[in-house]
A and B are shown apart, each in its own frame.
Chain A
Amino acid sequence: MKFGVVVFPGSNCDYDCYYVLSEVLRVDTVFLWHEDRDLQGCDCVILPGGFSYGDYLRTGAIARFSPIMTSVRDFVREGGLVLGICNGFQILLESGLLPGALLPNRDGHFVCRYTHLKVENTSTPFTRLFSPGEIIRIPIAHHQGNFFMPSRDLEKIKHNRQVVFRYCGPQGEEDSGFNPNGSLENIAGIASPDFRVLGMMPHPERASEEILGSQDGKKIFLSVIAWLEENRRGRH
């Protein structure tokens, strides 16, 4: 089992993801350079947070044309697992691998703090170890995390259960006071129709050790590991 963390010019959470996977979870992990096309046989590709290409034009808009993204697109077509975190989520949206867009935050601020999330779908490879409706704590750090899509698309992704995480209060309250950025219906993360691609604004790699205040993010990576172990057994 192998994880790959893509490094774009301006990525700054790549080492955090690499550290959690290789040092905390002890799984084989490699960096994937944006100019390469070889995914090196990875079973799961992580698009980390940061400011790829300086956020020029629109967040994620230029990263989408990196050579590595051509391979990531093929990988998705073959059913590979891709997790986009923060700027990685923005790249997935600009690439058309997930629907919608991320606008500047409602209040115009960069928001960096812990948020509570409700796990809305536990059937995905990324969330299978959570219980349905579980409330977890994972931090956010972004200026453009205000999820938006036309209402007909929103109905479609809700119907397909593609909404995976919603911002909420400590008891699961979903009112706008617990919405840190103005996201449509408090959406914090969505998946592709087959649940193999997940994009989320919160940073699970920053909540993977007790010393950091939460280990809820680790469960996302552990879910992927469990899914890959099971799937691999099924294949052979």
Chain B
Amino acid sequence: MKYCGKIVVVLKPGVFDPQGVTIKNALHTLGYGEVEEVKTGKFFEVILEAETEALAGRRLQEMCDQLLANPVIERYSFEVEGKQ
């Protein structure tokens, strides 16, 4: 069975995000003065083969822990979808 893991990696609270600040300032310049904060992050789609959805999730979690996120500064979340 093929699955698709949709992974979002964001900076932990309190970790400075200069890209987010720069984008917020640009939005203010465009007239979106109501914007209070912009946070940037990364999005991954990982297509993988696994026997069950739970096993796919376990493998994806290992991938996040080992490579896709840096635990010192980032946290992650993901969803697993069946793929035809």
Query: Is A146 engaged at the interface, CB distance under 8 Å to the other chain?
Result: yes
Assembly CA distance A99 to B71 (angstroms): 11
Query: Is A57 engaged at the interface, CB distance under 8 Å to the other chain?
Result: yes
Query: Is A10 engaged at the interface, CB distance under 8 Å to the other chain?
Result: no
Q: What is the count of residue pairs linking A and B with beta-carbon distances less than 8 angstroms?
A: 35
Assembly CA distance A108 to B72 (angstroms): 20
Contact yes or no, B67 A101, CB < 8 A: no
Assembly CA distance A150 to B68 (angstroms): 20
Contact yes or no, A148 B70, CB < 8 A: no
Query: Is A107 engaged at the interface, CB distance under 8 Å to the other chain?
Result: yes
Contact yes or no, B16 A106, CB < 8 A: yes
Query: Is B41 engaged at the interface, CB distance under 8 Å to the other chain?
Result: no
Q: Say which size band chain A's interface belongs to.
A: 20 to 34
Contact yes or no, A105 B72, CB < 8 A: no
A108/B19 contact (C-beta < 8 A), A61-B70, A149-B72 known: yes
Contact yes or no, A103 B15, CB < 8 A: yes
Contact yes or no, A148 B72, CB < 8 A: yes
Chain A residues, Cβ within 8 Å of B68 = 57
* CB 8 Å contact bits of A72-87 with B (1 = contact, 0 = none): 0000000000000000
Contact yes or no, B16 A182, CB < 8 A: yes
Chain B residues, Cβ within 8 Å of A99 = 72
Assembly CA distance A57 to B67 (angstroms): 9
Contact yes or no, B67 A106, CB < 8 A: no
Contact yes or no, B67 A108, CB < 8 A: no
Residue in chain B with minimal CB distance to A109:
B18
Residue in chain A with minimal CB distance to B42:
A57
Contact yes or no, A148 B18, CB < 8 A: no
Chain A residues, Cβ within 8 Å of B21 = 108
Chain A residues, Cβ within 8 Å of B18 = 103-108
Binding site for A on B (CB under 8 A): 15-16, 18-19, 21-22, 67-68, 70, 72-73
18 A-B pairs, CB-CB below 8 angstroms?
A57-B68, A61-B70, A93-B72, A94-B70, A99-B72, A100-B72, A101-B70, A103-B16, A104-B18, A104-B19, A105-B18, A106-B16, A108-B19, A108-B21, A148-B15, A148-B73, A149-B72, A182-B16
Binding site for B on A (CB under 8 A): 57-58, 61, 65, 93-94, 99-101, 103-108, 146, 148-150, 182
